[in-house]
Amino acid sequence: MADKLIGACIIGQSGGPTSVINSSAYGAISAALAAEEITQVLGADHGITGVLGDKLYDMGLEDPAELALLKNTPSSELGSCRYKLADPDVDDTDYKTILEMFKKHNVRYFFYNGGNDSMDTCDKISRFMAKSGWECRVMGIPKTIDNDLVGTDHCPGFASAAKYIATSCMEVSCDSRVYPTGQVTIMEIMGRHAGWLAGSAAVGSRFGAGPDLVYLPELDFDMDKFLADVETVYKAKGNCLVAVSEGVHFADGTFVSEAKASSTDGFGHAQLGGLASRLADAVKAKLDVKTRAIELSLLQRCGAHLASKADVDEAELAGRIAVESAIAGETGKMVAFERAEENGEYVCKTKLIPLTAVANAEKKVPLEWITPEGNFVTDEFIDYVLPLIQGAPERPTECSLPRYAKLRKIKA
Amino acid sequence: MADKLIGACIIGQSGGPTSVINSSAYGAISAALAAEEITQVLGADHGITGVLGDKLYDMGLEDPAELALLKNTPSSELGSCRYKLADPDVDDTDYKTILEMFKKHNVRYFFYNGGNDSMDTCDKISRFMAKSGWECRVMGIPKTIDNDLVGTDHCPGFASAAKYIATSCMEVSCDSRVYPTGQVTIMEIMGRHAGWLAGSAAVGSRFGAGPDLVYLPELDFDMDKFLADVETVYKAKGNCLVAVSEGVHFADGTFVSEAKASSTDGFGHAQLGGLASRLADAVKAKLDVKTRAIELSLLQRCGAHLASKADVDEAELAGRIAVESAIAGETGKMVAFERAEENGEYVCKTKLIPLTAVANAEKKVPLEWITPEGNFVTDEFIDYVLPLIQGAPERPTECSLPRYAKLRKIKA
């Protein structure tokens, strides 16, 4: 057991929000408020930028009932940022400011909730504090709908987005085959480099409603192959539903969404708009069928009304474990998940991994979880996702609409 | 009491699907299966086109448990169509075929579930049968997310779409203000001529999360005024969320979504893509801020996982009342809703109105329910919507994903 370290803590949220990042905040805040070692619990406004600008809120002054509603509130309630800290060997200005703020508020614990960029931020701060001689324990809390952090079985936020995507694809699959004349429907799903979310679109297909074709960014995208796939399905079923990752790219690395119009890429004329519209236009030009492009956009990362209970609970757990581990002496680590089974049931266990192992790395969908045809995911993929999306959390409502946390945000 | 009329019935679904049109089908089918006057319950494949093509399914051969799941199944499970019958005085070919099919299957009851076009179809068939001397009672069951049928307080399907839209706007409102740099987010909502759905985006604003500005097609759209509105909100709050009906149009009647690029309409260059993208581009060009365009597309009309219990129950009621009324001797009518209050609680009562009163007419949002500034709805509008979106129906699931009806569809 490490020496008792007494002082304030800061909790910050970073990167793209999710449906459950506030559940991690709640896990960390409630554990910190309960810890005798922690003298004050500070929430950073817009992540590290709130630390740099001394915009810190005293979480101890919040109504506990409102804090508990964070579990039901999508997006980053404290505000997020995409601020990238410089290499401290090149420019340590920001780090000196951070140290100053840590000293001002006697901050001895720093918890940062985000993706791989945020773990890099965490790691840099951790090293600078160590070098400066300011004793401070730094812990990362994972978060990303993209599910692309290495060293963890899955990431908080992924499952709720996956459940939203799978459910929405099931619904659209019902809707898009309603008329006697067929339709090719293209659904664009987030995930620039990893296809975890796009693959999740396929989960409902096991239960009879979902996409016919799924394209992940792990493989090169071939427009001719894509059009041939669509034609085959359309001829057989009179309809076709496609789920496609926003990150699909041609063999030369060009994103399909950004490809310049040319006669060779399947786009007959100048293209604006998103990937789904582009692909729908290419299908229309080739097959002369009715098309519809749907982009799930922000909806998929804030659809908290469809959150997975497993995800909400695990996100909270990650926040709590970060605090408890730091109090026990850990630093420079991220909380990670291990998948286990107890009595034949899925259980989620936690472990700690070094921040350095996570920072700036990406975990992609294993190629063997994509079908040999390259246009769907395998049963292994669906078996991986299913336990994560189980259960519906209790969702407090007001007049049948979601009731979100209303924080007072009183400056410390 | 009219004479007992013994024979088969046909139930058909028509027009754009909704989250609850299958609940009306269930109400009608289950009432018809229970009625001793009705000898066979036929479901028309793809509405009137299934009657014309003698593609009729025997609903009596379905598993009752699967039929009950129709209440949980979005879209038109029997298939829909947008087939417009000719004026019988000009071309009665289709009507003769329909009569032939009615005779073949001894159809004495025809129930058609749809919007105002479908009520026109209903009305024409009703008149032709009367003229032909084939005794057949014809009843319309209302349905439309657009909520634009006259003679009824509201339409089955509207409330569930409204709830989906309101909830999604609340969630996006959380997500779109997450970064220190602001964003203008434009959400495009269905409703070509009536603004009931776009207005519903504002319901969450009463509870602290929702759009800042709402534009309905009941008023002419003024691009300069729109840009000035956005600028005012953005300057005051650092963010702006706009909900806009797909049907907004300039004073000359041109849809904003179809306006040709010109120097006067706010679009500086050639535009493709939907309305939301066009408006986002116009905002970006004028204010040089980060923008995001979101189109709710099909999601809003098939989002059954967020259905309103009131809507599901009322849709079922409308189907049942249509059958019971026809058995009691009614014909040439549509089931309509009246809003009432019992012990201070909203209750929905039914009445019958002539199909002729509904066919091809449209009910728009009263202008006094739009604010004088023309960029939001009034409290009266929100008070109108709120009772309709109450409650969450029981939703059978399988592995935490929706479990839809699986019909056998055995041809009669």
User: What's the rounded Cα separation, in Å, for the pair A285 and A291?
Assistant: 10
Nearest residue, CB atoms, A171 vs list B46, B74, B295: B74
The answer on pLDDT for B58 being more than 70 is yes
pLDDT at position A140, please? 98
Residue with tokens 């009851």: B109
User: Is A167–B402 a contact, with Cβ atoms under 8 angstroms apart?
Assistant: yes
The chain A residue lying nearest B204, using CA atoms, is A401
From the candidates B92, B120, B146, B265, give the one annotated as an active-site residue: B146
**Band of pLDDT at residue A274, cut at 50, 70 and 90:** confident
Note the helical H segments in B39-176.
Answer: 48-52, 64-68, 93-104, 116-132, 158-175
- What pairs with residue A8 in β-bridges? A107
| Whether A189 contacts A198, CB under 8 Å | yes
If residue B185 lies in a helix (H) or strand (E), which one and from where to where?
A: strand B184-189
Predicted pLDDT of residue A2: 72
pLDDT at B259: 75
Which residues have CB under 8 Å from A374's CB, separation 6+? A215, A219, A225
Of B80, B163, B391, the CB nearest to A178: B80
pLDDT at B222: 97
Catalytic-role residue among A94, A146, A281, A311 = A146
One-letter amino acid for residue B282 of the chain? A
Strand partners, A301: none
> Residue B289 has what DSSP assignment?
-
Average pLDDT for residues B32-36, to the nearest whole number?
Answer: 98
* Integer Cα distance of B376 and A51 in angstroms: 37
What mean pLDDT is reported for chain B?
A: 94
Pairwise CB contact (< 8 Å): A171 & B82: no
Question: B154 versus A272: which is more confidently predicted?
Answer: B154
Nearest to B391 among A174, A304, A400 (CB): A400
Please list the residues that pair with A401 across neighbouring strands. A398
Contact B146, B196 (CB under 8 A): yes
Residues contacting B157, CB < 8 A, separation 6+? B18, B19, B20, B21, B143, B144, B145, B301, B311, B315
pLDDT > 70? residue B83:
yes
Give the best residue of B167, B168, B171, B257 to mutate against chain A (max A CB count within 10 A).
Answer: B171
Q: Please list every residue in chain A whose beta carbon sits closer than 8 Å to the beta carbon of residue B175.
A: 17, 74-75, 298, 301-302
Indicate whether B267 pLDDT > 60. no
Average pLDDT, stretch A372-388? 98
> What is the spatial distance between Cα B15 and Cα B38, in angstroms, rounded to a whole number?
26
What is residue A261's predicted lDDT score, i.e. its pLDDT?
Answer: 53
Nearest-by-Cβ selection for B171 from A76, A170, A302: A302
Element (H, E) at A41: strand A38-44
Q: Which residue has the higher pLDDT, A274 or A268?
A: A274
What Rg, from alpha-carbon coordinates, does chain A have? 23
pTM over 0.90, yes/no: yes
- The mean pLDDT of B297-308, rounded to a whole number, is 97
| B311 in active site | no
Mean of pLDDT values over A128-132: 96
- What does the alpha-carbon distance between residue B48 and residue A279 come to, in Å, rounded to a whole number? 33
Over residues A141-168, the mean pLDDT reads 97
Binned at pLDDT 50, 70 and 90, residue B273 comes out as low
Distance CA B114, CA B103 (A): 24
Report CB contact under 8 Å: A207, B49. Answer: no
User: Would you say residue B122 has pLDDT above 70?
Assistant: yes
Interface touch B406/A208, C-beta < 8 Å: yes
Q: How far is B276 from chain A (nearest CA, A)?
A: 11
Residue A222 has pLDDT above 50, yes or no: yes
Q: Is the pLDDT of residue B173 over 90?
A: yes
For position B271, what pLDDT does the model report? Answer: 41
What is the pLDDT at residue B405?
A: 97
Q: How confident is the model at residue B75 (pLDDT cuts 50, 70, 90)?
A: very high
Backbone φ, ψ for residue B47 (5° rounding): 60, -140
pLDDT tops 50 at residue A293: yes
Q: Which chain A residues are Cβ-neighbours of B391 within 8 angstroms?
A: 400
Amino acid identity of A20?
V
pLDDT the model gives residue A264:
41
Model pLDDT, residue A361: 86
- Please report the pLDDT score of residue B1 as a whole number: 60
Mean pLDDT of A212-237: 98
DSSP state of A200: H
pLDDT level of residue A272 (50, 70, 90 thresholds): very low
Closest-CA residue of chain B to A395: B392
- Inter-chain residue contact A80 with B178, CB threshold 8 Å: yes
Q: How confident is the model over A191-205, as pLDDT tens digits? A: 999 999 999 999 999
Alpha helices in B80-157 (DSSP H): 93-104, 116-132
pLDDT of residue B258: 85
Strand order from edge to edge, sheet including A291-295: A213-215, A240-245, A184-189, A291-295
Q: Is pLDDT at B395 greater than 50 in this prediction?
A: yes
A207–B403 CB contact, under 8 Å = yes
Q: Which of B145, B160, B292, B297 to mutate to test the interface with A (most CBs of A within 10 A)?
A: B297
* CA atoms of B248 and B268, how far apart (whole Å): 19
**Interchain proximity B172–A80, CB inside 8 Å:** no
- Gap from B130 CA to chain A (nearest CA, Å): 29
